[in-house]
Structure 1
Amino acid sequence: MDHQQTAAAILPLVGGADNIVSAAHCATRLRLVLQDDGLIQKSALDGLEAVKGSFINGGQLQVVIGQGAVNKVYEAFIELAGVSASTTQDNKNAAASQLNPAQRFAQMLSNIFVPIIPVIVACGLLMGVIGMSKTLGWASDTPLLQLLDMFSNTAFVFLPILIAFSAAREFRVNPFLAAALGGIMIHPALQNAWTVGSGIHDYWTFGGVSFAKVGYQGTVLPILLGVWVMGYIERGLRRVIPDSLDLIVRPFLTLMLSGVICLTVIGPLGRVVGNGISFGLLAIYNTAGPVAGLVFGGLYSTIVITGVHHSFHAIEAGLLSNPSIGKNFLLPIWSMANVAQGGAALAVFFKTQDAKVKLIALPAALSCLLGITEAAIFGVNLRYIKPFVAAAVGGALGGAYVVFAKVAMTAIGVTGIPGIAIVPGSLMLNYVIGMVLAFGSAFALTWVLGLAGKKAAKPTAEAAVKAESV
């Protein structure tokens, strides 16, 4: 089947030209935003010779075709469908309109936090190395170690500025004004937030109301709310300020008004809510123990299907940056769930007689060990259902173990084998044991349960879409 024939075969299986909102492609996948996902004939689509699998994620139908070939199929597809070429960002914008409010909120948080993950990982990795060196007695308190220790906490000390700059794009704010707002919230003239435990030293009084002169180092929610409010202030001023004065007056008023509102209202409120979330999760973690890991680890992959997991980055950043917590105890649980999907997918590789599924299952299983689960979940395990259930059990067992062993991480966004790098040295062995338990139990249970019958192996389009949009 050539590229033209492939495009012609795909079009009716996704509901025809009238069902296409927009179409784009990435390095390997055709990305389609559709009017009605219920018109997808998934089993027939996955059965095409050139299609290696398909799944719905983030409001987009993603059809895996492969590097190089996807470009040619895409060109033929948009010509047949009569739609104009779109960028992946255009597609994301179109897809956002198809999401429910919870999914849109989660996607918004993902768009803000994913760009800053690399710097948090870099600092978290260095923090882990320093901690391991001290634990094992490899390093003493030398000037070099002090310098590296300063490097390791930089992302968390200046986290409000990083978040503000990233959030500005999402909230349609001048990014430099947003960064300045973040700087105001951690200004040296304010009492350092990490010394609040010793008491608040000074207050402002406006109109008889007192406000603590405390900074917001290591906080997440106050700056998110602050930049969101700043967006409304900036756009409102743009409508009323004459063009001749806009360049001078609008930035000045935007920053002044946002800064006052943040330090007097949003900051204190955001700190209370943010701490409530963080300490609430810590209480569940400490009280429920392995049971919490069992539940969270078992449910995580189902949450991934909904797309709501993207919002967890904000919660994890709050845990890390909170001086009273300073560790990410959620990410090891998510990691166990991801690895378990790989164990189930590997079992499918050995059990299935479908050559096409074999072609997808092995690389999908390996990618789960690197923290990438979409191919395994949507392309393999949900196809047969039982492996997905087995993976949930594996994630639950692995999650219970890492909570029992008190495994935590020093960053966000990295799971599976790469996640070892951000686990403190004293906890690495338990993290690896948890992965082996999750992967092995998911593999074994899939092997015992077997795959669904031949009819169930290729679910109907209606069942597949329902499964993917839970």
Structure 2
Amino acid sequence: MWDFAVGIVTVVSFFAIILTILPRKGRRQPTHDKHPNNEKAENVTGSKGYFFNTGQHQFIFGTGKVNEVYDEFKQYTKMDESADTAFKEDVYSNMTPVQKVVRTLADILIPLIPALVTTGLLMGLRGLLLELGVEFSPLMLSMFQMLTDTAFAFLPVLIAYSATRKFGGNPIIGIVVGLMMVAPELPNAWAVAGGDAEAFNVSFLGLNIPIVGYQGSIPPAIVAGYLVSRIEKELRKVVPQIIDLVVTPFVTLTVTIFLMLFILGPITHTLEIAVSDFIIKIFFWF
């Protein structure tokens, strides 16, 4: 029953993100405060609505149409990648701090939605079939688990990649850091939570730090992606170009994984667990 519940919650959660964030992608940042003709704007072919918010003219096309409209708009205006980046910076300049955080999280998570929603649906299907009494052979059950559990087990890899790309770092380094966070040499987080394994206890600066893998974790992977991009950018400024190809990735990887395993990782992971437990308590309270 747990798999079925997790699958349903996953699908509902990510569809909520889609419905609240993605339809607003069809927007244009003006260089002046003059509004267009509202009547014509509201009657644009295919548009579900128009409004002006945070200095942006926003046209709602829905989740299925917005990417096609955006691509067509880029071709029509001949907007290259640099102009697109400048546009995004203009968008952020008109947002409040809370809106910036929400938009940043959306930019990181939205590219992952298709994979996670599909996996969630498969997880829900597996749980439903098991509840209905369908019997699977060990091989079939293992294959089903491969389909449903892989994306969530390696979720930090996907998140680290997307976050590193979002913050302007090398996405490949982000992938490697994500893989290190779920390396099989580390105690599996789910096994530790279930009592089937024990965390590594490391003494660092007089503190006893538990080291576990980050299977299924999101905040630590986002922090790791930010660290990768931040450290890489700073190193590019000081490392001589002749050794940049070797030194920058090496230092970036080493420093990032050290901070994630011994300092920032345990902190963010603890906070993540606390917030999750709090939300679960509220959910069951009602």
Q: 1:267 matched to which residue of 2?
A: 265
SS at match of 1:34: coil
Give me the whole-angstrom Cα distance separating, in 2, the residues matched to 1:137 and 1:33: 55
The amino acid of 1:202's aligned partner reads F
Give me the whole-angstrom Cα distance separating, in 2, the residues matched to 1:158 and 1:48: 44
Q: 1:225 matched to which residue of 2?
A: 223
The amino acid of 1:161's aligned partner reads V
- Alignment CA distance shift 1:141-1:59 (3 Å): farther
Q: 1:279 matched to which residue of 2?
A: 277
* Of 115, 133, 139, the match for 2:135: 139
- Alignment CA distance shift 1:138-1:58 (3 Å): farther
The equivalences for 1:157-172 within 5 A come to 157-172=153-168
Deviation of the 1:201 alpha carbon: 4.3
Q: 1:109 matched to which residue of 2?
A: 105
The amino acid of 1:40's aligned partner reads H
- Alignment CA distance shift 1:61-1:177 (3 Å): same
SS at match of 1:138: coil
Q: 1:443 matched to which residue of 2?
A: none
Unaligned regions of 5+ residues in structure 2, if any?
A: 1-24
Unaligned regions of 5+ residues in structure 1, if any?
A: 1-28, 79-83, 290-470
CA contact (8 A) 2:50 2:59 kept: yes
Q: Which digits, 9 at most, give the CA deviation of each residue in 1:417-445, with x for residues without a partner?
A: xxxxxxxxxxxxxxxxxxxxxxxxxxxxx
Q: 2:214 matched to which residue of 1?
A: 216
| 1:33 is aligned to 2:33 | no
- Alignment CA distance shift 1:47-1:241 (3 Å): closer
Deviation of the 1:94 alpha carbon: 2.9
* Of 232, 235, 250, the match for 1:234: 232
Deviation of the 1:142 alpha carbon: 3.1
Q: 1:414 matched to which residue of 2?
A: none
Q: 2:11 matched to which residue of 1?
A: none
Give me the whole-angstrom Cα distance separating, in 2, the residues matched to 1:33 and 1:273: 36
Deviation of the 1:48 alpha carbon: 6.5
- Alignment CA distance shift 1:36-1:276 (3 Å): farther
* Of 218, 243, 246, the match for 1:245: 243
Deviation of the 1:203 alpha carbon: 1.8
- Alignment CA distance shift 1:254-1:98 (3 Å): same
Give me the whole-angstrom Cα distance separating, in 1, the residues matched to 2:249 and 2:93: 31
Identical counterparts, % of pairs: 31
CA contact (8 A) 2:200 2:210 kept: yes
RMSD: 3.2
The amino acid of 1:100's aligned partner reads T
The equivalences for 1:41-60 within 5 A come to 43-46=38-41, 53-56=49-52, 60=56
Deviation of the 1:93 alpha carbon: 3.9
TM-score normalised over the length of structure 1 = 0.48
- Alignment CA distance shift 1:58-1:115 (3 Å): farther
TM-score normalised over the length of structure 2 = 0.75
* Of 185, 190, 206, the match for 1:189: 185
- Alignment CA distance shift 1:96-1:144 (3 Å): same
Give me the whole-angstrom Cα distance separating, in 1, the residues matched to 2:103 and 2:111: 13
Q: 1:20 matched to which residue of 2?
A: none
- Alignment CA distance shift 1:144-1:49 (3 Å): closer
The equivalences for 1:33-432 within 5 A come to 33-35=29-31, 39-40=34-35, 43-46=38-41, 53-56=49-52, 60-63=56-59, 85-86=78-79, 89-90=84-85, 91-197=87-193, 198=195, 200-287=198-285, 289=286
SS at match of 1:55: strand
Give me the whole-angstrom Cα distance separating, in 1, the residues matched to 2:41 and 2:141: 54
CA contact (8 A) 1:200 1:212 kept: no
SS at match of 1:211: strand
How many residue pairs end up in the alignment? 249
The amino acid of 2:35's aligned partner reads I
Give me the whole-angstrom Cα distance separating, in 2, the residues matched to 1:131 and 1:49: 44
The amino acid of 1:270's aligned partner reads T
The amino acid of 1:159's aligned partner reads L
Larger gyration radius, structure 1 or structure 2: 1
SS at match of 1:216: coil
Give me the whole-angstrom Cα distance separating, in 2, the residues matched to 1:112 and 1:30: 18
